[in-house]
């Protein structure tokens, strides 16, 4: 490849060192912004991360529990997963909610989008708030062993603040929803449920 510029970095070469259906790792030979030679590895994701904060008419949210292989520990999270880059983000969020909890939602709103770990990956997250929930039967992938529990939104927020929940999408969704409710940037009935003690 001919030399390219990525912001203040000069990229002299790039090669794929690993790929599977979900990620690709690219090794770049670069000149750092100060001109020194170096190497920059980037994990490129093949899906967009999607998350859903579903809240029912009583202010409850479902948490999904599962053992996370990379960290070797159990994690409680809001419904989340990945969606194809070419698929509408909301469609992917609806699918994840239905697969993991069985729920469908009559009302949806964009909550927040963010970069998950922008020093080494290009992974993006798109998160939604869902309400007017209807129950259904969950249909997780056969490789997943999930547990579902309901908690009040206030309890979810406490779990985030006290470090019991460490999943980034769940933390960001809970804090963003709470901040938006405080600002009056959500429908009044939803804000009241989120802000109820």
The set of catalytic residues is: 144
Element counts in the chain: helices (H) and strands (E): 4, 11
- Tell me how far apart the alpha carbons of residues 65 and 140 are, in angstroms, rounded to a whole number: 12
The DSSP output letter for 56 is -
Quick check: 83 and 50 in contact, CB under 8 A? yes
Quick check: 52 and 80 in contact, CB under 8 A? yes
Q: How far, in whole angstroms, is CA 99 from its chain's centroid? A: 16
Q: Which of 69, 74, 50 is nearest to 129 (CA)?
A: 50
Q: Using alpha carbons only, how large is the chain's radius of gyration in Å?
A: 19
Q: Which residues pair with 10 in a beta bridge?
A: 5, 31
Q: Is 55 helix (H, G, I), strand (E, B) or coil?
A: coil
Q: Is 30 helix (H, G, I), strand (E, B) or coil?
A: strand
């Amino acid at each position: 490849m001919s030399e390219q510029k990525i912001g203040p970095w000069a990229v002299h070469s790039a090669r794929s060192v690993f790929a599977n259906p979900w990620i690709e790792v690219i090794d770049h030979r670069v000149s750092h912004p100060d001109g020194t030679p170096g190497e920059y590895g980037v994990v490129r994701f093949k899906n967009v991360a999607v998350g859903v904060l579903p809240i029912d008419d009583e202010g409850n949210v479902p948490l999904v529990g599962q053992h996370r292989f990379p960290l070797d520990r159990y994690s409680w999270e809001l419904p989340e997963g990945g969606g194809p880059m070419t698929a509408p983000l909301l469609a992917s969020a609806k699918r994840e909610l239905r697969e993991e909890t069985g729920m469908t939602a009559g009302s949806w709103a964009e909550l927040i989008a963010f970069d998950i770990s922008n020093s080494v990956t290009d992974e993006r997250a798109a998160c939604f708030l869902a309400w007017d929930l209807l129950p259904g039967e969950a249909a997780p992938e056969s490789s997943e062993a999930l547990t579902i529990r309901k908690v009040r939104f206030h309890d979810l927020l406490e779990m985030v603040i006290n470090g019991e929940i460490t999943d980034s999408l769940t933390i960001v969704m809970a804090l963003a929803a709470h901040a938006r409710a405080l600002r009056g940037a959500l429908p009044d009935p939803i804000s009241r449920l989120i802000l109820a003690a």
